[in-house]
Amino acid sequence: MLRNGAAGGGGPAAGGAAGQRPVRVWCDGCYDMVHYGHSNQLRQARAMGDYLIVGVHTDEEIAKHKGPPVFTQEERYKMVQAIKWVDEIAPGAPYVTTLETLDKYNCDFCVHGDDITLTIDGKDTYEEVKTAGRYRECKRTQGVSTTDLVGRMLLMTKAHHSNIDEDLDYRKHTDNFGKGPKGHSPWTGVSQFLQTSQKIIQFASGKEPQPGDTIIYVAGAFDLFHIGHVDFLEKVHQLSERPYIIAGLHFDQYVSEVVIGAPYAVTADLLDHFRVTLVCHGMTEVVSDKDGSDPYEEPKRRGIFQLVDSGSNLTTDLIVQRIIKNRLEFEARNQKKEAKELAVLEAMKKLEEKH
């Protein structure tokens, strides 16, 4: 998901052959609480061309058309720029995508998911570029949405990152949080995200550690991935001229490889298996293992443990507090969004019936 020290997102994908002008692609959006769905959209968009520019809306524009954003615009700019498929960001992009904007950034076309984005008065924000034939569509990622993430925090359930079955409160939340008085919208509604090996491999770097690389191991839940995590990984990346960073994800990416379901304690077996030369942890509290032991006891014993200050004070707890503070506004935002989408669906249905 994140850059691995490189400035771009890889070699030419569609176009850009010798003698041809590189294909420039435009995406835009709020990119609030950046998640796998956002990253997957940008990955698909980048594959359609050679250079991807991502426009990010301001706080004022988002508040006007949707409701209050969770992250500030500066935080959202930084998160989007960190995604490895993004070549350039355009801060303060207008909420409605116009031909003027595409021409300003010399982009051939705009890419958006197969859902719909509406203005405050219920109009399609991509209508102009669609009419001009400068619009492309990619598949929306099912099972993950900002609506669901906000809903989890409003509910304050732990079911989404525990080993137990989802409790009744969470199931009730998934049934009702994104549901308006007239039913579910297929775009705003909450659904279950299912991970597959194919989805994972699309995000893998495919790079093996090379002789001379410094193999660095970091571990954590990386729950609600945010710029505090990005800042930490950037600082870790700067610890060596040739870093190869492995991120261990506890059950519930500047990285080169991911260990899924990593053990909470950094064991000798793990260190030896990946030939780890450095283990890093942020300035947050290290919670003891179930038996009361220090999960970093082994790397500390080997003298390869290092604390890294990310320079950011943003934590998942602070983000949750932002959500709770604006709870009523977020609930109203989701209901209004769903109502507009359902109105469009009804209009589309009537149009189809006429034909």
DSSP 306-321: EE---S----HHHHHH
Instruction: State how far the Cα of 258 lies from the Cα of 274, in Å rounded to an integer.
Output: 11
Q: Is 133 left (phi over 0), alpha (psi -120 to 50) or beta?
A: left
Count of beta carbons in the 10 Å neighbourhood of residue 110 = 26
Count of beta carbons in the 10 Å neighbourhood of residue 188 = 23
Residue-wise pLDDT tens digits, 92-133: 999 999 999 999 999 999 999 877 777 677 788 889 999 999
8 A C-beta contact, residue 6 and residue 83: no
Three-state DSSP class for residue 238: coil
8 A C-beta contact, residue 61 and residue 75: no
Angle at 118 between CA 113 and CA 124, to 5 degrees: 80
Answer whether residue 334 shows pLDDT above 80: no
Lowest mean pLDDT among 75-89, 181-195, 278-292, 304-318: 181-195
22-26, 95-99, 113-117, 332-336 — most confident range: 22-26
8 A C-beta contact, residue 316 and residue 226: yes
pTM for the predicted model, two decimal places: 0.68
Answer whether residue 310 shows pLDDT above 50: yes
Q: What is the pLDDT of residue 156?
A: 53
Lowest mean pLDDT among 119-133, 170-184, 186-200, 244-258: 170-184
